[in-house]
């Protein structure tokens, strides 16, 4: 153990979720959190290293801008820290894209003001090549205008019991969705979701539901009905993790 | 053998080049051409199947719009053919994104009027995650304006002996480059190259040279000197295949 005063760092993290059983450390399975903690322990063997993320991601979910914080007693610049963690992360598909020294008051989870996710469907007949595990492949044409319109049912403050996993640990099913938009760019159908926080599986439950609307199987009134039901078994479909990306977290200046 | 008159099909092909030793069939190594031929032979066992591409790609080079043609005696619609090939291509990262019945006069290689390639550098300090093998990772900042300016040296008709592989089988080193542009989009530096045809390794030789310009190691006059030298050993650098994508082929209406 050392007597150095510890410095807190904010880390911005990108990862390919395919090889991981999610962010959160668990016994006997590979997780992103443990992978980063082990990389830091390699050059900070005397610290108890705890990497605290702004939020968990499920197995197979990706990130380009997950944020975490960590306290380290070994004196080093944020630039050196970034390089050292990335060196020890090899060969894992996890990368520290930014490291910043921050005040001990910064908390990646509790200071977050807005979380941004994007979900990607590749909507074409042909099988995927580059995008396997990186998008949801839907073969028949989706009605993106109807999906965007139905998505607005979720915007605002609602009881989202229908759209949370049974295992969800949140005390309340009530959340406020600030934005949920759907756009087509070529073969890709992109969903953008912004909120202070989300329930477990909430975005994937939204996407699965909106896919039914894009199919023509559900109308907007079915979506309203599912929301009002406040029962998990009223959910039409949960989307696979493949297409979900944790994009960004906003913090106060 | 069958007596059916054969129908010619134009295939538009996407592939992840990472697992393949290039397009062109060779003994004892996996190639894209042979992979597609084997997929077709699975449901056309009586035909001699030859899939002729519009051009070869090297090991590790990708395509989103390679074009090929093939003659098949078994009667089937282009849609059925696309589905059948894609079914038998599994689990390879090769996908027929379009199939069209065409006249026997169509030849993927000899009818091509313009070939379009894009090369992608990811220009950032942090290691790659999703993009491994799908882009060239360059850590220090590149001067994209200087690269675009120097790229114009290659546009037009020149003797490109410096910029062709020693193994290049083209009769003449003289080619006409119609466009070579460089742009930055976020962390990505994208090169767009259009020409009737290219020499073996020509685009990767351009990109390697322009990377030296982006580094500040070479000026535009060094590029002119290398071009005028007409000697392969005047080449500064050959870029890795990872970032190269065969995007599209134009044919006459």
| pLDDT computed for residue A145 by the predictor | 98
- B240 part of a folded domain: yes
Q: Is residue B1's pLDDT more than 80?
A: no
Closest residue on chain A to B13 (Cα): A126
Let me know whether B126 and B242 are in one domain.
yes
CB contact under 8 A, A16 and B129: yes
**Residue B35, token pair as written in the block:** 């992979």
**Number of domains comprising chain A:** 2
Supply the pLDDT for residue A167: 86
Mean pLDDT of chain B: 95
Contacts of B15 in chain A (CB under 8 A): 129
Q: Please give the pLDDT value at position A2.
A: 42
In the listed set B80, B102, B124, which residue is the last one of a domain according to the structure? B102
Buried b (16+ CB within 10 A) or exposed e, B148-174: bebbebbbeebebbbbbbeebeeeebe
Query: For residue B107, is it within any domain?
Result: no
Contact B126 A96 (CB under 8 A): yes
Query: Are residues A128 and A70 located together in one domain of the fold?
Result: no
Smallest CA–CA distance, residue A89 to chain B, in Å, is: 10
Longest dimension (CA), chain A: 64
Residue B61 resides in a domain: yes
Over 90: is that where the pLDDT of B253 sits? Answer: no
CB contact under 8 A, B95 and A130: no
Listed residue (B212, B69, A89) closest to B221, CA to CA:
B212
Q: Is the predicted pLDDT of residue B213 greater than 90, yes or no?
A: yes
Find chain A residues with C-beta within 8 A of B89's C-beta. 127
Chain B residues whose CB is inside 8 A of the A97 CB are 124, 126
Task: CATH number of the domain at B38, please.
Answer: 3.30.70.580
Q: What is the pLDDT of residue B2?
A: 42
Can you give the pLDDT at residue A4? 55
**pLDDT at res. A253:** 83
Query: What ipTM is given for this predicted complex?
Result: 0.90
| Nearest CA-CA distance, residue B126 and chain A, Å | 5
Q: Which residue has the higher pLDDT, B166 or B220?
A: B220
Query: B93 and B152 share a domain?
Result: no
Q: Say whether residue B186 is in contact with chain A using an 8 A CB cutoff.
A: no
Contact list, B14 vs chain A (CB under 8 Å) = 126, 129-130
Q: Is there a contact between A95 and A14 (Cβ–Cβ < 8 Å)? A: yes
**In this predicted structure, what is the pLDDT of residue A6?**
93
Same domain, A118 and A140: yes
With CA atoms as reference, the chain A residue closest to B187 would be A97
Lowest mean pLDDT among B21-25, B44-48, B185-189: B44-48
Q: How confident is the model at residue B236 (pLDDT cuts 50, 70, 90)?
A: confident
Mutate to test the interface with B, among A129, A131, A133, A242 (most CBs of B within 10 A): A129
Strand partners, A10: A69, A100
Nearest to A94 among B90, B124, B129 (CB): B129
Count contacts between A and B (CB, < 8 Å): 54
B101, B86 in Cβ contact below 8 A?
A: no
| CB contact B120 to A (< 8 Å) | no
Contact A49, A68 (CB under 8 A): no
B1 lies in some domain: no
Contact A130 B96 (CB under 8 A): no
Nearest-CA residue of chain A relative to B15?
A: A129
State the pTM of this model.
Answer: 0.93
Residue A59 domain-assigned (yes or no): yes
pLDDT, mean of residues B196-201: 95
Taking contacts as CB-CB distances below 8 angstroms, the residues of chain B near A128 are: 95
Kindly list the residues from chain B whose CB atom is less than 8 angstroms away from the CB atom of residue A124.
Answer: 97
Give yes or no: residues B137 and B196 share one domain: yes
Cα distances (angstroms) measured from residue B123 to each of A83, A95, A115: 16, 14, 26
Active site residues per annotation of B: 58
Residue where the block lists tokens 């597609």: B36
- pLDDT, tens only, B51-73: 999 999 999 999 999 999 999 99
Could you tell me if A132 lies within 8 Å of chain B, comparing CB atoms? Answer: yes
pLDDT band, very low/low/confident/very high, at B14 (cuts 50, 70, 90)? very high
Q: One digit per residue, pLDDT tens: chain A, 253 residues?
A: 444 589 999 999 999 999 999 999 999 999 999 999 999 999 999 899 999 999 999 999 999 999 999 999 999 999 999 999 999 999 999 999 999 999 999 999 999 999 999 999 999 999 999 999 999 999 999 999 999 999 999 999 999 999 999 888 889 999 999 999 999 999 999 999 999 999 999 999 999 999 999 999 999 999 999 999 999 999 989 999 999 999 999 999 8
Distance from the A87 Cα atom to the nearest Cα atom in chain B, whole angstroms: 9
Q: With helix as H, strand as E and coil as C, how does A154-207 read?
A: CCEEEECHHHCCCCCCCCCCEEEEEEEEEEEECCEEEEEEEECCCCCCHHHHHH
A121 and A73 together in one domain: no
Q: Is the same domain home to A88 and A148?
A: no
Residue A130 placed within a domain: yes
Say if the Cβ atoms of A127 and B16 lie within 8 Å.
Answer: no
Closest CA to A165 of A201, A197, A207, A206: A201
Contact criterion met (CB below 8 Å) for B155 and B223: no
* A128–B130 C-beta distance less than 8 A: no
Check if the beta carbon of residue B135 is closer than 8 Å to that of residue B61.
Answer: no
Which structural domain, as residue segments, surrounds residue B77? 7-102
Asked if A95 and B127 come within 8 Å (Cβ–Cβ), the reply is: yes
In a domain, A57, yes or no: yes
CATH of the domain at A141: 3.30.70.660
Q: Tell me: do B16 and B91 sit in the same domain.
A: yes
Tell me, yes or no, whether B240 and B126 share the same domain.
yes
What's the average model confidence in pLDDT over B155-172?
93
Give residues with Cβ within 8 angstroms of A237, minimum separation 6: A208, A209, A211, A212
Q: Which two tokens stand for residue A96?
A: 């520290």
A150 and A223 in a single domain? The answer is yes
**B245 and B127 in a common domain:** yes
What's the CA gap between A92 and A20, in Å, rounded? 10
Q: Which of B102, B123, B139 is the last residue of a domain?
A: B102
A125 close to B (CB below 8 A): yes
Co-location of B118 and B98 in the same domain: no
pLDDT at B194 over 70: yes
Model confidence at B166, pLDDT cuts 50, 70, 90, reads: confident
| For range B17-26, the mean pLDDT | 96
Scanning every residue of chain B, which has its alpha carbon at the shortest distance from the alpha carbon of A83?
Answer: B126
| Among candidate residues B74, B102, B130, the one where a domain is terminated | B102
pLDDT, mean of residues B194-211: 96
């Amino acid at each position: 153990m050392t007597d150095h005063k510890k410095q807190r760092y904010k880390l911005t993290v990108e990862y390919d979720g395919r090889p991981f059983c999610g962010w959160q450390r668990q016994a006997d399975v590979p997780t992103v959190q443990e992978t980063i903690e082990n990389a830091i322990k390699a050059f900070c063997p005397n610290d108890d290293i705890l990497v605290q993320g702004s939020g968990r991601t499920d197995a197979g979910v990706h990130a380009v801008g997950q944020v975490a914080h960590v306290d380290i007693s070994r004196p080093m610049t944020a630039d050196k820290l970034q390089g050292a963690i990335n060196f020890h992360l090899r060969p894992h598909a996890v990368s520290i894209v930014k490291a910043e020294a921050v005040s001990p008051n910064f908390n990646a989870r509790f200071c977050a003001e807005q979380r941004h996710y994007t979900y990607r469907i590749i909507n074409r007949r042909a099988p995927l090549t580059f995008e396997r595990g990186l998008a949801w492949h839907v073969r028949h044409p989706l009605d993106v205008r109807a999906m965007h319109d139905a998505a607005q049912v979720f915007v605002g403050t609602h009881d989202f019991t229908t759209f949370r996993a049974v295992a969800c640990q949140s005390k309340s099913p009530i959340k406020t969705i600030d934005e949920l938009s759907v756009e087509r760019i070529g073969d890709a159908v992109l969903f953008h979701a912004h909120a202070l926080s989300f329930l477990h599986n909430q975005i994937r439950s939204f996407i699965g539901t909106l896919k039914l609307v894009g199919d023509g199987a559900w109308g907007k009134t079915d979506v309203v009905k599912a929301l009002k039901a406040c029962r998990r078994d009223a959910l039409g479909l949960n989307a696979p993790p493949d297409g979900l990306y944790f994009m960004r977290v906003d913090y106060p200046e």
